[in-house]
Amino acid sequence: MSSPCVSHHHQVRLRAGGRLPAPAAASFAPPAALRGRRRVARAAMSAEARPGVAPAEEGAATPGQQQALLAEMVENAAVWCAVHGLVVGDRANQRSGTVPGVGLVHAPFSLLPARFPASFWKQACELAPIFNELVDRVSLDGEFLQAALSRTKQVDEFTARLLQIHEKMMPINKKEDIRLGLHRSDYMLDSETNSLLQIELNTISSSFPGLGSLVSELHRTLLNQYGKILGLDPKRIPQNWAATQFAEALGKAWAEYNNDSAVVLMVVQPEERNMYDQYWLVNHLKESYGVATIRKTLAQVEAEGQVLTDGTLVIDGRTVAVVYFRAGYAPTDYPSEVEWRARLLMEQSSAIKCPSISYHLVGTKKIQQELAKPNVLERFLDNKEDIAKLRKSFAGLWSLDNEEIVKSAIEKPDLFVLKPQREGGGNNIYGHDLRDTLIKLQKEQGESLAAYILMQRIFPKASLTPLVRGGDWFEDLTISELGIYGAYLRNKDKVILNNQSGYLMRTKVSSSNEGGVAAGFAVLDSVLLTDE
């Protein structure tokens, strides 16, 4: 969002009732008990109010009391994170991404949950099983995927390599009996249209089911203790079972494979500061289903793996029932041919892939744009009500072949987002950079236009929010993005699971265009349902 950032020190007065509407620029603000000073990080906790802050109302806490309460909440929250495993590896410690238990720091989080209208929450949850079914249906149409991405692959080497594997696997993919998807569909509330609009659909490495679940519990704990003072009801925070439900899907897929000695293979990056989010799933799998998990990089899979003549995938002597990708979604995950050989090896096996190469391709930006075209959803879904629900959530999506839209984007770049075929955060293009990129692409002509799609920019309302990172707290105007997880498991004609499986709320400073927590752009958050 392009709105200017409001000063930490003045201009916005904090109002009662949670992250509620503040004058003009902000739609939400912390409660009256936290009213008083705004600060960056941990400046001295003087009780003296800064210029521009309204005086406390009669009977309200003094600024010093307000600051003491906030400091107490931050400290209690940080302790809760440490005790309950809401942690990531510290960027300042070089070993934190490779050695478990070294260099831990709490995950960045919002101190209070984000207000979210219950009607839009219900809408987002109801979309999950429909999107799950859509992914499965589209994945079976290999010709559609190849044709839709045929121009993209000419200018995007990463997509081309994925399509090469997919083309080799097309005859096998159609015959794969067991298909598992763990997805996340991301949304924002658009203030211009007062509607819930989809940002993207993630079909590979949908992160934070573990830590996202914990933030909901953290906020519920804080509101159980401070809710009366803040005027916030902890019962308004919906339960978030993302970690247990993802583990359930993996466990049931493992059971369908029907080999008690087999393991789940989690494919991970060589350095992973977010490993503890992954270990929550590992622990749930072991404790609830008795399933062992092994963690391997793509390079390790290539070195230690083999596919037997019957299709069995064996890694370091252990039979693999399910391959769960928490890596492999970005070009940087494939620095050499070794990693590509590993990906092909796993695809050629009879192990259940989460996702398969076809599921992976369904989640690309270009396929998202293709599915938004008129009459395309009807190719894959029969239920008219389901189609209407999906279409209602689609933002404007266009290929760069649409000269009229490209012209509009050059003239008014702040109304659009330019998206390449990339996952993981930090890749989208905005504002003046968007205009310059489009002008350059127009001059170049050729197939380079096919590497991108244009998307309508969504403008959510901003909130004044207390954020905590590295033990320090600060306040800023923020916007939030709701991700709804979905789990889908099918064996031949039998759908074993098709569920909405928890959620992820991410909040970022409104002056930031990107929103990835792991990429350093956002903090973890949870939902406080409202009747608005």
Check if 57 is active-site. Answer: no
Instruction: Report pLDDT digits (tens) over 235-285.
Output: 999 999 999 999 999 999 999 999 999 999 999 999 999 999 999 999 999
- Rounded Cα distance between 519 and 425, Å, is 6
Residue 505 maps to a domain: no
Check if 423 is active-site. Answer: yes
Instruction: Report pLDDT digits (tens) over 313-340.
Output: 999 999 999 999 999 999 999 999 999 9
Of 181, 343, 506, 516, the catalytic one is 506
Question: Does the annotation list 306 as a binding residue?
Answer: no
Q: pLDDT at position 427, please?
A: 82
Instruction: Report pLDDT digits (tens) over 88-132.
Output: 999 999 999 999 999 999 999 999 999 999 999 999 999 999 999
Please say whether the beta carbons of 78 and 468 come within 8 A: yes
CA distances (Å), origin 404, targets 94, 391, 414, 457, 458:
49, 22, 16, 17, 20
pLDDT at 41 > cutoff 50: no
Check if 200 is active-site. Answer: yes
Of 35, 37, 343, 365, the catalytic one is 365
Residue 205 maps to a domain: no
pLDDT at 34 > cutoff 80: no
Q: Which of 21-35, 155-169, 408-422 has the lowest mean pLDDT?
A: 21-35
pLDDT at 160 > cutoff 60: yes
Q: pLDDT at position 108, please?
A: 97
Total number of domains constituting the chain: 1
Q: pLDDT at position 53, please?
A: 28
Question: Does the annotation list 202 as a binding residue?
Answer: yes
Instruction: Report pLDDT digits (tens) over 197-239.
Output: 999 999 999 999 999 999 999 999 999 999 999 999 999 999 9
Of 396, 424, 431, 470, the catalytic one is 424
CA distances (Å), origin 375, targets 10, 370, 379, 380, 469:
51, 10, 7, 10, 46
Check if 365 is active-site. Answer: yes
Q: pLDDT at position 132, please?
A: 99
For the chain, percent of residues with pLDDT exceeding 70: 85
Residue 240 maps to a domain: no
Residue 128 maps to a domain: no
The chain-wide mean pLDDT, for the chain, equals 87
State mean pLDDT over 74-83.
97
pLDDT at 407 > cutoff 60: yes
Check if 75 is active-site. Answer: no
The C-alpha torsion from 72 through 78 and 83 to 86, rounded to 10°, is 140
Of 220, 423, 510, 515, the catalytic one is 423
Check if 184 is active-site. Answer: yes
For residue 355, cis peptide bond before it (omega within 30 degrees of 0): yes
More confident residue, 176 or 470: 470
Q: Which two tokens stand for residue 355?
A: 């996702």
Q: What is the CATH number of the domain that holds 431?
A: 3.30.1490.50
Could you tell me which residues come within 8 angstroms of residue 393 by beta carbon, excluding any fewer than 6 positions away? 123, 127, 187, 196, 197, 198
Question: Does the annotation list 278 as a binding residue?
Answer: yes
Question: Does the annotation list 410 as a binding residue?
Answer: no
- Rounded Cα distance between 363 and 146, Å, is 14
Residue 285 maps to a domain: no
Check if 506 is active-site. Answer: yes
The range of the structural domain enclosing residue 430 comes to: 396-457
- Rounded Cα distance between 394 and 196, Å, is 9
Residue 452 maps to a domain: yes
Check if 248 is active-site. Answer: no
Q: pLDDT at position 176, please?
A: 78
Instruction: Report pLDDT digits (tens) over 162-177.
Output: 999 999 998 775 567 9
Going by their DSSP bridges, the two strands 114-117 and 527-530 should be labelled as parallel
Question: Does the annotation list 392 as a binding residue?
Answer: no
Q: Which two tokens stand for residue 18?
A: 């949670």
Q: How many Cα atoms are found within 13 Å in the side-chain-facing hemisphere of 130?
A: 20
Q: Which of 14-23, 440-449, 491-500 has the highest mean pLDDT?
A: 491-500
Q: pLDDT at position 226, please?
A: 96
Question: Does the annotation list 207 as a binding residue?
Answer: yes
Strands (E), 168-215: 178-190, 195-202
Instruction: Report pLDDT digits (tens) over 387-399.
Output: 999 999 999 999 9
Question: Does the annotation list 161 as a binding residue?
Answer: no
Residue 405 maps to a domain: yes
Tell me the pLDDT band of 60, cut-offs 50, 70 and 90. low
Residue 441 maps to a domain: yes
Question: Does the annotation list 424 as a binding residue?
Answer: yes
Of 27, 96, 132, 207, the catalytic one is 207
